[in-house]
Amino acid sequence: MSLGSNCRSGCLTRDHASWGECARSARMTVGWMTSNTGLSRVADRKSEGELAEYRDLRKQGIQPAGTTRQALEEAKRVSDTIGKPYNAEKMVPTNLLTSTSVIKSATEAGML
In which element (H, E) is residue 45 found?
helix 41-59
Which residues touch 47 (CB under 8 Å, ≥6 apart)? none
> What confidence score (pLDDT) does residue 49 get?
94
Per-residue pLDDT of the chain (112 residues; tens, 9 = 90+): 566 688 888 888 888 888 888 888 888 777 666 666 667 778 888 889 999 999 999 999 999 999 999 999 999 999 998 999 999 998 888 888 888 888 888 888 888 7
> What confidence score (pLDDT) does residue 33 get?
64
> What confidence score (pLDDT) does residue 34 get?
64
> What confidence score (pLDDT) does residue 73 get?
95
> What confidence score (pLDDT) does residue 99 get?
85
> What confidence score (pLDDT) does residue 74 get?
93
